[in-house]
Structure 1
Amino acid sequence: MTPSQISHAVQIACDIAKPGIIPILGHVVIANGTIMATDIESEVTIKLPFDIPSVAIPSAKLRSILASIPDDVPVAFSHKDNKLAVKSGRSKMSINTLSSEGMPVMTLEGHEGDFTINASLLKTMLKNVQHAMLNGGARPMLQGVLLHFSDNMLYVVACDGARLAMDKSPVTFKDYQLILPRHSVARLIKMLDDSECTVSIYEGKAKFKFGDVEYTTKLLAEKYPPYERIIPVCAHSILIDRELFIEAINRASIVLDKVRSAKLAIGKVARVTCTNAGEESFDEFDCGATDALEIGINPDFVREALNAAGGDEVTIGYSTSKTPLVVSCGDFVAVIMGLRD
């Protein structure tokens, strides 16, 4: 066995295992051919190509040991007298361990049902909307991502009050809503692979099983606001070259500091203008719109929506300077509130 065969599993587990008030939370447990870690709010278990008696190992030291060994050099593990021995080539390291009996384990009750989705698709959907999650503040329900099932369609939604991002895909499941916390969204984006993912919903928790990984997380015990009301019906729309729009925003916003605001004018040409302390920068490109608009925007919000939308062209929907801007491409939709003067 070489480090490359187990490094991915160890990396995932060690990312969750963080030392805190409970010392054992800074450890990973290897038992029954798996590696397991938890931070109380979530838990991961991953299959390993070897087994040793059940033991809790300091996560930081295990990660450092594997990182120090070349990928093509065989490595072997053994455990005796509360010591983990790691032997590779002419190197041998021995580290202290703890009993695995003190490691907290998440319990699952109140099974609500299961659904299956391609892990890569779920990863893309979460990645497309994560930028719109609320970062802190007094509305905990917005500090995560909503998974909303309705009429066998999955809507993945994030909203921070100033913008919304939504992606959708057909998924067979009963009408249901759950909110994934921010930390689990980030971890799933990092972990999900190209296999089929089975998601099991329980009371207050969800378990994601894909490949050799089982990831369980607590859910946010909040009710998500009716996000559908935020998505406007636009009076006008136009197809715009996505890369040209991103480049225009990047160049125009060079003069900005902490205050992130710009003017977007849409007509025969689209122009992005930024001013800051007497400095001004603008960039424009042809778009051929027949219905003119001038609206204040947060350039970062629009750029992030364009990056998530993908594709060569995006549809920009708009009505007036007092209504939101809508960016859409395929099943992805982003709503960005305009800035007031």
Structure 2
Amino acid sequence: MKATVERATLLRCLGHVQSVVERRNTIPILSNVLIEADGDGLRLMATDLDLQVVETIAATVASPGATTVSAHTLFDIARKLPEGAQVELAVANEKMTVVAGRARFSLATLKRDDFPVIAETDLPTAFTLPAATLRQLIDGTRFAISTEETRYYLNGIFLHVVDGTEPKLRAVATDGHRLARIEFDRPEGAGGMPDIIVPRKCVAEIRKLLDEADGDVAVSLSASKIRFKLGTATLTSKLIDGTFPDYSRVIPTANDKLLKIDVKSLSEGVDRVAAIATTEKTRAVKIALGRDKVTLSVTSPENGTAAEEVPADYTSPEFEVGFNYRYLLDILAQVGSDQVDIHLADAAAPTLIRTGDASNALYVLMPMRV
């Protein structure tokens, strides 16, 4: 195998594929990236056995062939090569030589035949989503994904179709303390799709690829796998084998106290008073609701107290409620409007947060004792 590729092209592609590779592997081949040279390009692939990323890039191929080489090492080399360099990759005697200008590297390789590949057969459900819609769907929910491994079925985004007069594609994530739900009109081809849970790592990797994507993303899935095709990259992932809980039971429908407040003022106020919250126990921000104002306060046994008054539209009875300030800020960061509606019942009941009844996103936040 021998091929020449532009450094910037190689670096961008390696940046996509090497992030899938775990730093520590008990199986040596999983530390490697598969490189196949054929025709007028290179095909690079990396996998952790649950997730696989494949990307094709333009290159001048002098002789076709395939090998595998350490993904992180090759990425670090490409990152440190001078801008504009032409990088020659050549394989002989179970070694890959990387030459760029006066720099020359010789890297150990492993046989291509030992590299595991997730089956690339067609998946039964297929549809397209604009890249901007998929970005919004992920950003609007992924912050609420649970990291608790014992409840593995919460370690991803629940993606499903809701039928009705206006069918929707809905994404939900929850960690038991907060819930995020966002929906869009059901894309053509998504009807009858199985309910699936997309793993946290897959969500993170596809979100990185979306940073450089425009246009549409082709999505295909089955009950056990999902595949995204965008530009020259294809990401295939296994799905979480579990049942997502009936999240609709925790979405409050009878919260009768409505707080309308400016998102920026509330976010900045919460962030300021939280400056003294340095431990897990002091993450609660107390919100005292009064007529046309809220008073935010945090108490820390180590650091003291902080308080700030924020104007608001509130006419219901006065009371106090506490929230984890980080969870509240995460939600406010995704609201996407100047004003937010916060529907409350009492200091112990789940709180509903949204930007009006017609909003395509809603959030539920459990209170804390203060």
- 3-state SS of 1:126 partner: helix
1:48 has 2:63 as partner: no
Of residues 297, 310, 327, the one that matches 1:285 is: 310
1:182 has 2:178 as partner: no
| Equivalence map 1:263-282=2 (5 Å) | 263-267=286-290, 268-277=292-301, 279-282=304-307
* Distance across 1 between alignment mates of 2:25 and 2:102: 35
Of residues 194, 207, 214, the one that matches 2:214 is: 194
Deviates most, 246-255 or 47-56? 47-56
TM-score by length of 1: 0.94
Deviates most, 47-56 or 101-110? 101-110
Q: Which residue of 2 aligns with 1:6?
A: 10
* Distance across 1 between alignment mates of 2:149 and 2:47: 26
List runs of 5+ in structure 2 lacking aligned partners. Answer: none
* Distance across 2 between alignment mates of 1:17 and 1:225: 31
| Equivalence map 1:15-94=2 (5 Å) | 15-18=19-22, 19-31=24-36, 32=38, 33-50=42-59, 51=61, 52-94=64-106
CA contact (8 A) 2:261 2:313 kept: no
* Distance across 2 between alignment mates of 1:171 and 1:101: 41
Runs of 4+ in 1 over 6 A off after TM superposition: none
Deviation at 1:306, TM superposition (A): 0.3
Of residues 304, 312, 331, the one that matches 2:360 is: 331
* Distance across 2 between alignment mates of 1:210 and 1:46: 10
Q: Which residue of 1 aligns with 2:258?
A: 237
* Distance across 2 between alignment mates of 1:142 and 1:17: 23
Deviation at 1:160, TM superposition (A): 0.8
**Structure 2: which amino acid aligns with 1:211?**
G
* Distance across 2 between alignment mates of 1:73 and 1:104: 32
1:169 has 2:184 as partner: yes
**Structure 2: which amino acid aligns with 1:276?**
S
* TM-align CA RMSD: 1.8
How many percent identity over aligned positions? 26
1:309 has 2:331 as partner: no
Q: Which residue of 2 aligns with 1:125?
A: 137
CA contact (8 A) 2:224 2:238 kept: yes
Deviation at 1:242, TM superposition (A): 0.7
Of residues 274, 277, 294, the one that matches 1:256 is: 277
Deviations 1:200-234 (A, max 9, x none): 11241111111111101110011111111211123
* Distance across 2 between alignment mates of 1:166 and 1:149: 13
**Structure 1: which amino acid aligns with 2:45?**
M
CA contact (8 A) 1:108 1:203 kept: no
Deviation at 1:171, TM superposition (A): 2.4
Deviates most, 113-122 or 296-305? 113-122
Deviation at 1:109, TM superposition (A): 6.6
Q: Which residue of 2 aligns with 1:158?
A: 173
List runs of 5+ in structure 1 lacking aligned partners. Answer: none
* Distance across 2 between alignment mates of 1:309 and 1:322: 23
* Distance across 2 between alignment mates of 1:124 and 1:82: 45
Deviations 1:48-68 (A, max 9, x none): 112541110111221121011
* Distance across 2 between alignment mates of 1:217 and 1:317: 38
For residues 64 and 164 of structure 1, do their structure 2 counterparts lie closer, same or farther at Cα, with a shift above 3 Å needed? same
- 3-state SS of 1:48 partner: strand
CA contact (8 A) 1:116 1:199 kept: yes
Aligned residues: 341
* Distance across 2 between alignment mates of 1:240 and 1:62: 51
**Structure 2: which amino acid aligns with 1:98?**
L
Deviation at 1:295, TM superposition (A): 0.9
* Distance across 2 between alignment mates of 1:23 and 1:210: 29
CA contact (8 A) 1:297 1:337 kept: yes
CA contact (8 A) 1:316 1:327 kept: yes
**Structure 2: which amino acid aligns with 1:29?**
L
CA contact (8 A) 2:260 2:313 kept: no
